[in-house]
Copies of this chain bind each other. A is one copy, B any other.
């Protein structure tokens, strides 16, 4: 294998400097063009020239009050004791707000401040006035808002709705704006398939990176141009890049950017132009490339979706805004405490995705999946914590600065659940956001014990748990008394649910019960330590006097019922212990073992909050219960029932 084209690996800052230098040295040239478009259609476009007012607004002197137009000099002698009498048409005219000030008049007296000489109709021939007025009184002068030749918008201004108003008011109906930069998006890899393909073979993957970046390019003010997929052929890629140069302003190549045998993006770039850098010490995002081909910037973005987006945010957005000549948006940040210890590699700067929520007044940052391939971690993320290179990571409740992905979220409206996984948590989350769009519910599946520990650590508003205690035969209470001794909390039943063995459709290996775990032809898929299901398994094994050493696959651990079902569905294992609804989701067979209690444990101080009360109102609705019942294997008769309310000691 040709492994000689290694990554150069420079820091993110150095990489940005390389691009900056290429711009200053005119290796990269932005061929800016502008176009004249109607102002009505100019929203969000960037001015390429200054716009100066063509006419004043108001363009005529206007009456500002209902009343009479007068000549101010005629009023100079008027006083309370010796009013001046004015005659209609000759000395005054009746006027309404918005009327042009009649020729020869220079002020307006409010109708309330004049008195008719005689009783009578609405419009009198003669009126008395009691004080002198100055020229311009109650008159809106020409240019009150905008005056001819005044600068309305500078160059490099992003046009907003009120700008459109001011431009039109100033008689400007067309405006010169920058053409949207064309951004070529070239996906590479013979494994890529269009998202609309129904069936995917192993090894094929959906090309959703092209769609994500297209939508970002639009949001950022550019025009995306998606090219056909280039298969893993260096010549084909070179040809495509060369054909894009001249037509497009920025070229993006997706994937093929690392140093494997099929990763030829760097080679193609080197041979058709110049590589500015190949590889950055960030994670995710390491195999990013930048180059120049005939003065056109080319960015090679890694194929893993999180690496892809981080590289796009760090390199494509700045390049595009540079092209448009508008400043980068400010980096919105928040300070938070990290919810758990994170060990990080010293050689890289890590972009750790986090969810944010307030525990009482303290903002906490909850680390999400760190995999470069886990796009769902970005869907879930509120922000990014940058762990610098040469740091070994973060310690529990260390203060961190979070770069916010969206600064329009009220983190005080987020409920954090940590604990045991169940499919009903997704239903609950959706129902909450349906009823209360401003509330958010986030669930971390660390297992039941993890949930109780999270309450103790003060990092969760609630914990879900189904811990079976062998000695007492009780669920949860003994564990709560042990771990949360002295806490003022509530235990609320969510459901009773069916636990059992999840086996392949039709049960081809004829599995009958726990005893079959000893069979040599069977592979088990386990749950992680501390999960209620693992506690249950180990209890069942003790009861059946089965030594875990003799169970094939006992070491394979997954973190949710769905992952266990998925492992069985994909023939990674023949069986796993889990809940009925997970088997049902994957259309698998199920051998019932036990009906267990699944509770929510909520500290009193969170229980009374408005958001928690709204959440608990949801679980009592018929709509919620119906949906959970449909998942299968649930008994909802006690759903919402308070089992403990008060101090646990």
Q: What residues of chain A have their CB less than 8 Å away from a CB belonging to chain B?
A: 1, 39-40, 43, 50, 52, 55-62, 66, 73, 96-100, 106, 111, 122, 134-136, 140-157, 161-166, 168-169, 171, 173, 191, 195-196, 200-203, 205-206, 208-209, 211-213, 215-216, 218-219, 260-262, 305, 309, 325-327, 329-330, 332, 369, 371, 373-376, 378-379, 407-410, 423, 426, 429-430, 432-434, 437-438, 552-553, 555-556, 560, 562-563, 566-567, 570, 572, 585-586
Complex alpha-carbon distance, A371 and B169, angstroms: 15
Query: Can you list 18 pairs linking A and B with CB atoms under 8 Å apart?
Result: A55-B200, A57-B206, A96-B260, A96-B262, A142-B567, A143-B566, A144-B373, A147-B560, A150-B376, A150-B562, A151-B430, A161-B212, A162-B309, A162-B379, A165-B375, A169-B305, A326-B437, A407-B407
Number of copies of this chain in the oligomer? 2
Q: Which residues of B contact A555 (CB under 8 A)?
A: 134-135
Do B56 and A163 have beta carbons less than 8 Å apart?
A: no
Would you list the 3 A-B pairs with minimal beta carbon distance, nearest first?
A100-B202, A60-B202, A151-B426
Residues A142 and B570 in contact in the complex (CB < 8 Å), given A147-B563, A434-B154? yes
A164, chain B: closest CB distance, angstroms: 5
A208 B373 Cβ-Cβ under 8 A: no
Contacts of A219 in B (CB 8 A): 43, 161
Quick check: B373 and A142 within 8 Å, CB to CB? Answer: no
Evaluate whether A166 and B379 lie within 8 angstroms (CB atoms) in the complex, with A157-B433, A556-B135 already known.
yes
Quick one: given A39-B195, A410-B330, are A433 and B161 in contact (CB under 8 Å)? no
* Chain B residue contacts of A434, Cβ below 8 A: 50, 154-156
Establish whether residues A375 and B208, one from each chain, have CB atoms under 8 Å apart when the complex forms. Answer: no
- Which secondary structure dominates chain A's binding surface? loop
Task: Looking at the assembled complex, report how far the CB atom of A605 sits from the nearest CB atom of chain B, in whole angstroms.
Answer: 25
Shortest CB distance A439–B (Å): 9
Interchain CB contact under 8 A, B100 and A148:
no
Given contacts A135-B555, A373-B144, A376-B166, contact A437 B60 (CB under 8 A): no
- Bound-complex Cα distance A200 to B215 (A): 42
Q: Give the contacting residue for A66; candidates B1, B62, B410; CB below 8 A.
A: B1
Distance in angstroms between the alpha carbons of A213 and B201 in the assembled complex? 50
- Cα distance, A39 to B57, chains bound together (Å): 45
| Contact for A145 among B62, B98, B375, CB less than 8 A | B375
Q: Say yes or no: A149 contacts B562, CB within 8 Å.
A: yes
Q: Write the nearest CB–CB distance from A442 to chain B, whole angstroms.
A: 11
A165 partner residues in chain B, CB cutoff 8 A: 208-209, 211-212, 305, 309, 375, 378
Further pairs besides A96-B260, A161-B216: 15, Cβ < 8 Å: A1-B111, A1-B122, A58-B373, A59-B202, A142-B566, A142-B572, A143-B562, A144-B373, A144-B374, A145-B373, A145-B374, A151-B430, A162-B378, A165-B212, A168-B206
Q: Compute how far the CA of A566 lies from the CA of B66 in the bound complex, rounded to whole angstroms.
A: 25
Q: Counting chain B CB atoms within 10 Å of each CB, which of A163, A205, A212, A376 scores highest?
A: A376
A99 and B203 contact, CB distance less than 8 A: yes
Closest chain-B Cβ to A82's Cβ sits at a distance in Å of 22
Q: State A429–B327 Cα separation when bound (angstroms).
A: 16
Contacts of A57 in B (CB 8 A): 206, 375
**Do A376 and B191 contact each other (CB < 8 Å), given the known contacts A151-B426, A161-B215, A212-B165?**
no
Q: Does A553 contact B206, Cβ atoms closer than 8 Å?
A: no
